[in-house]
Amino acid sequence: MRPQKVEVVVIIDDIRIIKESYALYGVLVRVIRSNNESTNEPSYEHRVYRRFSEFWDLKNKLEKEFGTELPYELPQRQFGLWKQSSLDPDIIEDRKVTLANFLQDLLNDSFDTKWKNSPHVCKFLKLSTNWNSLEPRYSNLPSSQGNLNDPTHWLTTFRDSKHLLESCERGISSSVTRDLMQLRLVLHDLENSLKHISEQIGQAEYSRRHNLLQTLKKDMNEFALQSTSSIHEDNGDNNVNNNNNNNNNNNNERSDLRMALFEEHTKPRPPKKPALGRRRFGETEETSPLDNQQLLQLHKDSMSKQDLEMEQMHKIVQRQKNLSLTMNQELLQDNELLDSLNDGVDNTASRLRTANRRAKQFNNE
C-alpha cells in the first residue's frame, strides 16, 4: 500500500448575523489525502456553522478531557462594561483569521494527535470518527457490523454514511457504484435497528432520526437516478464512435446503479370512488332507498320538526321566566310582611321595657 498523508484545509469564508445579536462563522473543512505517486485529491469536505462561544466550549471540553492546557491559540473573549461589540466588522475579520488558524493547527498536528482524534472535535466539526485514518478509501466506508442498538453508535454510523454520500455527489469517490451498494445495506440496518432503540431514545428523538434517515435515502435515490441518466447520455454519445464494447460496459454500470436504488415504499392505494349516481358517505338505512327529491323532502321535514321543537322549547323557557317573575313578586311581598312584623316586635319589646321600669319604681315606693 502506498504511503498516504492526510492534510486538512480550514477556511472561514461565510458569516451569518443572527437576529443582530451574534455571528455564526461558516467553517469549510476539506480533508485531502495524498501519496507520493498521485496528486492531492480531497476525500471529502463539508461546512459547519459555529458561534464564537462554541469554540471556547470546545477548548474547555478538550482541556477537561486530557487534563492539560490546549496548545493552540484562540481569540480572547471580551469582558467588562466597555467591551467592543462582537458584531463589529473588525472584530469579525480578526476572529475569522484566528479561528481558522486555530482549527488548522489543531487538525494538522502530526506530533500531538490526541486533540484532533477527540470525539469532541469530531462532533464539533461533524467529522466521522475515522476521518484521520491513513487506510485506503474503501476502509472508510461505514460499517453496520457494530452495535447499532447503541444510540450513540447509531448516530456515528449515520453521520459516516451521510459523509460518504456527499463524497459521491462531489465525484470524490473512486467507486460510486460500490459505495452506493454499501450505503444501501448500512441504511437498511440503521432502519431496522432504529425500531429496537425507540424505547431508549423516546418518541420525539425516534421521529427525528426516522425523518433524517428517510431524507438520506431519498437523496441517495435521486443521486443514483441522476447518475444513471448521465451514464445513459454518455452511452448515446459513445455509440457514434464505439460500437459494442463501450456499450456493454456502460450498460453494466447503469444496471449496477439501478441495483443501488432503494425500493420505494408502497404507497397506500386511494379509496375506490363510488359508482356514478351512488351515495356512500353518511348513508343510513332510512336514506339509502330514497332518491334526491325524496331526500330533499326528508330534509325539509326534519327542519320543520326541529323548528317546531325549538318553538316548544321557547314556550317552556317563557313559562319558566313568568314563574320566576311571579315568585320574585311574592318574595317581595313576603319581605314587606316580615319588615312589618319586625317593626311590631320592636314596639312590643319597647313597651315591655317601659312597663318593667314602672313596676320597679312602684315596688320601691
| pLDDT tens-digit map of 256-266 | 555 445 444 44
Q: Percent of the chain, pLDDT > 90? A: 17
Whether the per-residue pLDDT at 240 is higher than 50: the answer is no
Band (187; pLDDT cuts 50, 70, 90)? confident
Domains of the chain: 5-77+84-125 (3.30.1520.10), 138-230 (no CATH)
pTM beyond 0.85, yes or no: no
Report pLDDT for 231. Answer: 53
Band (140; pLDDT cuts 50, 70, 90)? very low
Q: Percent of the chain, pLDDT > 70? A: 70
Q: Where is mean pLDDT largest: 17-21, 42-46, 282-286?
A: 17-21
Whether the per-residue pLDDT at 18 is higher than 70: the answer is yes
Whether the per-residue pLDDT at 22 is higher than 70: the answer is yes
Starting at the edge strand that comes first in sequence, how are the strands of the sheet with 22-35 ordered?
A: 4-18, 22-35, 38-51
The residue with greater pLDDT, 171 or 90, is: 90
Whether the per-residue pLDDT at 116 is higher than 70: the answer is yes
Whether the per-residue pLDDT at 247 is higher than 90: the answer is no
Q: Where is mean pLDDT largest: 78-82, 135-139, 159-163?
A: 159-163
Report pLDDT for 164. Answer: 75
Calpha distance 155→69 (Å, rounded): 30
Residue with cell 452506493: 180
Q: What is the mean pLDDT of residues 294-305?
A: 87
Report pLDDT for 138. Answer: 40
104-113, 136-145, 294-303 — which is least confidently predicted?
A: 136-145
